[in-house]
Chains A and B, each alone.
Chain A
Amino acid sequence: MANLVLKQFATPLLNPFNLELAPGECVTLSGPSGSGKSRLLRAIADLDPHDGEAWCGDTAQHSITAPAWRRRVGLLPAESAWWSDRVSDHFPKLDGEILERLDLPAETGDWQVNRLSSGERQRLALLRLLSNQPDVLLLDEPTANLDKANIDRAESIIAQWRKAHQTAVLWVTHDPEQQHRVGTSSLVIKHRQLVKSWS
Chain B
Amino acid sequence: MELIRLTPIDLALAALLVLALALLSLKLSLGIGQRLLIAALRTVVQLSLLGLVLKFLFVQSHPMLIAALALFMLVVAGYEVMARQQRRFIGAWGMGVGTLSMFISSFTVTLIALTVIVQAEPWYSVQYTIPLLGMLLGNTMSGIAIALDNLTQSAWQQQREIEGRLILGHTWEEAIRVIRRNALRSGLIPIINAMAAAGVVSLPGMMTGQILAGSPPFEAAKYQILIMLLIAAGTGFGASAAVWIGSRRLFDERERLRLDRLSPAKPE
Contact = CB atoms under 8 A, between A and B. Distances in A.
Bound together: yes
Given A66-B166, A71-B168, 4 more contacts: A47-B257, A66-B255, A74-B167, A132-B168
A131 to B, nearest CB: 9
B164 A83 contact: yes
B256 interface: yes
A83 B166 CA distance: 12
Given A47-B256, A49-B252, A83-B178, A67 B164 contact: no
A51 interface: no
A75 interface: yes
A83 B256 contact: no
Contacts of B160: 77, 79, 81
B122 interface: no
A182 interface: no
Greatest chain B CB density within 10 A among A49, A70, A77 is at A70
Interface in B237-267: 252, 254-257
| Interface size of A as a range | 20 to 34
A129 interface: yes
B256 A81 contact: no
Closest 4 CB pairs of A and B: A81-B164, A71-B169, A83-B161, A66-B255
A51 to B, nearest CB: 13
A67 B171 contact: yes
Contacts of A75: 167
Interface string A64-85: 0111101100110101111100
Interface in A85-139: 128-129, 132
Interface in B195-218: none
Nearest to A80: B164
A70 B166 contact: yes
A2 B47 CA distance: 70
Chain B: number of interface residues, binned into ranges:
10 to 19
Nearest to B169: A71
Nearest to A125: B164
Contacts of B165: 81, 83
B51 to A, nearest CB: 52
B166 A47 contact: yes
A47 B259 CA distance: 12
20 contacts: A47-B257, A49-B254, A49-B256, A65-B255, A66-B254, A66-B255, A66-B256, A67-B169, A67-B170, A67-B255, A70-B166, A70-B168, A70-B169, A74-B167, A79-B160, A81-B160, A82-B161, A83-B164, A129-B167, A129-B168
B159 to A, nearest CB: 9
B80 interface: no
Contacts of B254: 46, 49, 66
A48 interface: yes
A79 B164 CA distance: 9
Contacts of B164: 77, 80-83
Contact of A47 (B161, B167, B170): B167
Interface in A25-64: 45-49
Contacts of B167: 45, 47, 70, 74-75, 77, 129
A83 B167 CA distance: 13
Contacts of A79: 160
A67 B170 CA distance: 6
A167 to B, nearest CB: 16
Interface in B45-67: none
Nearest to B159: A81
Interface string B129-166: 00000000000000000000000000000101101111
A114 to B, nearest CB: 14
Contact of B163 (A49, A81, A82, A129): A81
Contacts of A66: 166, 254-256
A10 to B, nearest CB: 16
